[in-house]
Every structure is written in structure tokens, then in C-alpha cells.
Structure 1
Amino acid sequence: MNIEKIEVAFGLLIENIESLQAELSTDFYDAFVEQNAIYLGAMTSNEAVKANNDKLREAGLSPLEWQKLFQYVLLKGSQLAPMQANHALTPDSIGLIFNFMIESLMKKSDIRIIEFGSGTGNLAETLLVNLQKTVDYLGFEIDDLLLDLAASMSEIIGTKADFMQLDAVQPQVLEKADVVISDLPLGYYPDQTTASHFTVGNPDGPTYAQHLLMEQSFKYLKDKGLGIYLAPENLLNSEQAPLLKAWLKKQARVVAVITLPSSLFKGESKAIYLLEKGQSDQPTFVYPLGSLTEPESLKAFMAEFSKQVKL
């Protein structure tokens, strides 16, 4: 991966986005989608944007370099026009842990992944450019702007990804997956009638959306398939945790809980939860990961995970 080439491309891409922002009187993310469309062949009269896109093509970025470039652009966007918390991109470091877990535990060379709340697509692309497997990926996202952004980035990177605009809590008829993933959106689900049909549904008021998505995701998961979720560290100790635990007891084995540095999430405490569909008496692997940037910390985690976690 050529960092200098990515830096040059970053400058060209930001220049185009800012130019289109001013020309179209729109926000950063709409201009980003427009820039991607132009790069992919949409017409424009903006000669500067055309010239910069020609330079981007000449740069010959690899899929991994494009993925890194887009992540940097999204991070720049988060500084200029912060998204709501549930729309924020999932950091590469988290995606690479998901990647490690999938590579370690899924021995098949061809796998199907469904993501619940694909957002900007950064988690999807981190997996798609790094997994040493053939991946059939499908992402659910209700926000049309995020969907356009994720789909256009995927097309430029050259990864095979399908996205559907829908409320992921609502039932769909789909082929089951080997792995379901989600950077779980937090908050209350607005439709109490729908929530009442779930085991995790709160009979005394609104239900946590993150609980509903976990239960719903398992309906699309093959037996012995994996669910990998980024969620609050107190997921199993919250007010509605007894409902979630009752569902888990019947449906899943909690394979691992990896607590993450709070500095990564502006002081919030989060963890990665690895679930397997089906029952088992094997103990849960619990690991406090102190750093996602220090190689020795990650190496120690990976060694311990590989030693202790078996399906």
C-alpha cells in the first residue's frame, strides 16, 4: 500500500467534493456521492472535477488503497459535518478484528455475510478487501444517502457488495448467511407492535433496537453460524438485559466478549460480542483489549483467542 499515493488522491478527492459542494449548494456527503457518480461516468460541466478524476484514474489505486482513501475522506467529513452517532463509520481497527475472527473460525472458502445497518459501508469494505475468502455480502440500510454512499464506494473499489434499503427489524425472505455482523445502532425501536412479536420485546414500554436486531439477525443465520456485533459493554447488564439473556439462553452461545479501549469511542465503553447459533456448554472467552494500535497488544489478543476459542 502506497501512503504517498493515497495522500495525493485524498487531496484530489477533497478538492472535488468541496468544489461540488459549492457548485450544488449541498452538504459534504451529498457532494461525495455526486463525486463518486462523476468518477463512475456521470456527466459534469465542472472541468476542474473532470481533471482531478483523470488524475485519480491515472493513480491506479488498488482496492485496499481505495478503501483507505475513502475512510480518510469519511473521517474528514465527520470533522466538517458530524453525523449522528448511529451513522458514524466503524473504524478499520474494529473491522480487522471482525476479519480475524471470521478467518480464524470459518474454514469454508466461500461464505455469505449479511450486515445489519451497513451505514457508510466502511465495515463492509474493510472485510471485503481483507478477507482471504470469496464473500457474498448483503448490507441492510434504511438511510438512502448512506446507501448511495456505500454502493458508490463499493463500485469504485471493485468489491462485490449488494445493498438493500429497508428496516432490518422487519422480516424478509432471504438466503441464510454463514455470518451476520452489525455495529449495532443504539436507541429505542419506534414500533412497539412489531417489537412485541420478539422474545426480546419489552412488554412494559419501548424495546432497545440493538436487542431486536440481534434477534432478527439470527433468523437469517445458518445453524452454527456466527454473529459478530459491536455493542455497549453493558449489553448484558442493562435495564432490558434479562429479556436479551432469555433469548440468548434458547438461541445462542456467547463465544467471546472483547472489551475495547474507551478512548476509541469518545469515552463510551464498547465491546465486540461473538455469538454462535446453537447451544454449547463451553465457557465464554472474555478479553480486555487494551490497545488497537500497539502491535504487541493485538498479537497477544490474537494468540490467546486462537488458543482458547473453539467452535
Structure 2
Amino acid sequence: MKLSPVEQLFTVFNETTSILQEELSCTYLEALAETGENLFHGSVLQEEISEINAKRLKKSYEKIHLSAFAKEDIRKAFQLAILKGMKENVQPNHQMTPDSVGMLIGYLVQKFVRHPVFRLLDPAVGTGNLLTSVTNQQMDKQVEGIGMEIDDVLIKLAYVNANLQEQSVQLFHQDSLQPIFIDPVDAVIADLPVGYYPDDERAAEYKLAAAEGHSYAHHLFIEQSINATKPGGYLFFVIPNGLFESPEAPKLRSFFKESAHIQGILQLPLSMFKSEKAAKSILILQKAGEDTRPPKEALLVNLPALSNPAGTEKILTRISQWISENK
């Protein structure tokens, strides 16, 4: 049976990662970053590998010519390998954004951001999966990606991920809620890390800081992202459904009144989540500027199961219609 391009790539990623994991006595994800680097450079870069395993690795790499694969196939195969590695060692904020959500955010970015060349920031870039998924969908546009991530293994994976897909991405290994030094961007995407931010001293510098105790990290991410965006730029966040129901929600609402226009909220299908409590939505904002106006009516949508093509098509048509009426 002939393997699909994604299966071919995943097989090579997985086999070579397992060899390196054993040889280097490291985690699967660390070994995956190493094998991705090898594949990109077309050679075995680790000097401590035994001769026999170096030969095995070379033989596997020679089966693959990256130029023969579509960027999306490379991304999907690498994502499958990352998911396998994450099963070994999962931390709550390291969950990967589902592909269907990446496709949807990519569609929204394509529709809202009209510039032929634009800068796109993901301040919670993780392994780079959402950023590269969205970039791959901007067919007729040139995207300069910027990603920030505090975890050293995840950012190494994001770097390898972008290289394998030949994506133009600048990566910063840092806490995104500390001062960031980048020129303002045209758009932001983020699957917001939900929880409390432990650095109260730094949080106190934000308008959305809690009056007492730890502040919500996801609120601070929103404020930091709006500050990093050009006036009139768009922001697309995966948010918890209860975002506007928390004790800090009134502060968030008044912050939006002065700094951004809510364009829409798309509630993701409940079937995607383990429980109603874990359910999420996509929040679309536009940073306020001299020439911006809030929409007459925000786009409020309950998305059908994304496995329902007819229902999804209907909703996408409605979104498209709303954008042409409001832009």
C-alpha cells in the first residue's frame, strides 16, 4: 500500500527521532528537534552518534527530498510527531491548537488582512504549528512571521518547523509578557495560555493587572498584543468561553472600549471539547485608530461541527458576507 506524503514524512521523522532519543538519552521532543535540524541540513550534525546509527540516520534522510513535498504536508507530518512526543510529557499549556481551528483562523486572516505583504505575530507560538498553518493559507500574500515562546524545547521545534517549511519567521526565546522589542505588526494570532501570571511586579505595569493577587495571563497577553499592533490592525485570539464572565471582565470590557473594536466572536463547536467548561471561541478584534469604527453589529456565530461540510460552508459564506458589508 502506497503511503501518503504525510505518512512518508512522519515515518522518517519517527524512526530517526527514536534512534536519536536513545543515542542522546533525551526526550522524544528534544530528539525530534535534532532530527528536523539534520533533515534540513541534509546531514547528521550530532558528533556523539555511533557510526552504525549515523549510517541508519543518513539512509532514512536520503529517502526524503523536502522540495518534493508541499509545505502543509511537512507541517502535518511534523505536527503528528510532536503530538506523539507530547503524549510522553504533557503540560496543560502545551496542548496543540487543533488543525480545524488553525484552518479557520487562517481563513479569517485571509479575509480581514488585505495587505499583500504583512507582519504576523504569535506571542504564544509554542511549536509554531498555528503560525505556519495560518501562513500557509495566505496564498497570494507575503507573510513575515514573528513568534515568542519561553519554553526552550518548544521554540527549538518552532525554529525547525519553520525551516523545514521554508517559512520566513523571526523567533524570540522569551516570556512574552516581559517588554518586547519589535516594530508594530499588522496582525496577531494566539491560542491564549489561560491561567495566572506569577510575576506580580511585571503584571502591575499592565492596565489589565488584577487589583490584588495574581493577574490573568490571558488578559495580559491580550493587552500586550494590542500594544504590539498597528492602529487598524487585526487580532485573532482563541479564548475561553467564560472570558467575559470572570470577576476581571468589567476591566477587560472598559479596556476594549478605549483600545479596540470587537469585530466578532465565533463559538467553537462544543463537540471539540471534553466538557462545556473547557469550551473555547475565537475573538476577533481591531485595534482602534483614527480611521477605524466599530461594526454596526458584531459578528456572532455558533460554529457547527467542523466535520459538517454543508454547515461550515454556510457559516463561511455568512462570515464573508458580514466582512464585505462591514469593511
Classify the TM-score, shorter chain: over 0.9
Instruction: Select which of 112, 130, 138 maps to 1:131.
Output: 138
Q: Which residue of 1 aligns with 2:309?
A: 295
Q: Is the 8 A contact 2:261 2:287 kept in 1?
A: yes
Q: Which residue of 2 aligns with 1:21?
A: 21
Stretches of structure 2 lacking an aligned partner (at least 5 in a row): none
Q: Which residue of 2 aligns with 1:105?
A: 112
How many residue pairs get aligned? The number is 309
**Alpha-carbon distance between aligned partners in 2 of 1:265 and 1:119, rounded to the nearest angstrom:** 20
Where do 1:57-206 residues align within 5 Å? Answer: 57=65, 60-79=68-87, 81-132=88-139, 133-206=141-214
Q: Which residue of 1 aligns with 2:250?
A: 242
Q: Which residue of 2 aligns with 1:260?
A: 268
Mean CA deviation greater in 223-232 or 239-248: 239-248
**Alpha-carbon distance between aligned partners in 1 of 2:63 and 2:294, rounded to the nearest angstrom:** 55
Q: Which residue of 1 aligns with 2:63?
A: 55
Structure 1 pair 20–189 and aligned structure 2 pair: CA distance change class (3 A): same
**Alpha-carbon distance between aligned partners in 2 of 1:170 and 1:301, rounded to the nearest angstrom:** 38
**Alpha-carbon distance between aligned partners in 1 of 2:67 and 2:185, rounded to the nearest angstrom:** 36
SS at match of 1:236: helix
Q: Is the 8 A contact 1:202 1:243 kept in 2?
A: no
Question: 1:30 aligned to 2:25?
Answer: no
Q: Is the 8 A contact 1:200 1:243 kept in 2?
A: yes
Q: Is the 8 A contact 2:237 2:284 kept in 1?
A: yes
Deviation at 1:136, TM superposition (A): 1.0
SS at match of 1:55: coil
**Alpha-carbon distance between aligned partners in 1 of 2:301 and 2:73, rounded to the nearest angstrom:** 31
Structure 1 pair 275–216 and aligned structure 2 pair: CA distance change class (3 A): same
Q: Which residue of 2 aligns with 1:306?
A: 320
SS at match of 1:112: strand
Q: Which residue of 1 aligns with 2:45?
A: 43
SS at match of 1:15: helix
Stretches of structure 1 lacking an aligned partner (at least 5 in a row): none
Instruction: Select which of 271, 274, 280 maps to 2:294.
Output: 280
Code of the residue aligned with 1:107 in structure 2: it is R
| Percentage of pairs with the same residue | 29
Deviation at 1:127, TM superposition (A): 1.5
Structure 1 pair 104–178 and aligned structure 2 pair: CA distance change class (3 A): same
**Alpha-carbon distance between aligned partners in 2 of 1:91 and 1:251, rounded to the nearest angstrom:** 30
- Give the root-mean-square deviation of aligned CA atoms: 1.7
Code of the residue aligned with 1:43 in structure 2: it is L
Deviation at 1:62, TM superposition (A): 2.0
Q: Is the 8 A contact 2:127 2:158 kept in 1?
A: yes
CA offset digits 1:3-49 (Å, max 9, x no partner): 71221221222111112112222111011011112222343442211
Code of the residue aligned with 2:305 in structure 1: it is S
SS at match of 2:245: coil
**Alpha-carbon distance between aligned partners in 2 of 1:294 and 1:178, rounded to the nearest angstrom:** 32
Structure 1 consecutive aligned stretches of length 4 or more whose deviation exceeds 4 Å: none
Structure 1 pair 138–247 and aligned structure 2 pair: CA distance change class (3 A): same
Q: Which residue of 1 aligns with 2:10?
A: 10
**Alpha-carbon distance between aligned partners in 1 of 2:150 and 2:248, rounded to the nearest angstrom:** 25
Structure 1 pair 172–8 and aligned structure 2 pair: CA distance change class (3 A): closer
SS at match of 1:225: strand
Q: Is the 8 A contact 2:239 2:280 kept in 1?
A: yes
**Alpha-carbon distance between aligned partners in 2 of 1:192 and 1:232, rounded to the nearest angstrom:** 22
**Alpha-carbon distance between aligned partners in 2 of 1:197 and 1:58, rounded to the nearest angstrom:** 46
TM-score by length of 1: 0.94
Q: Is the 8 A contact 1:117 1:139 kept in 2?
A: yes
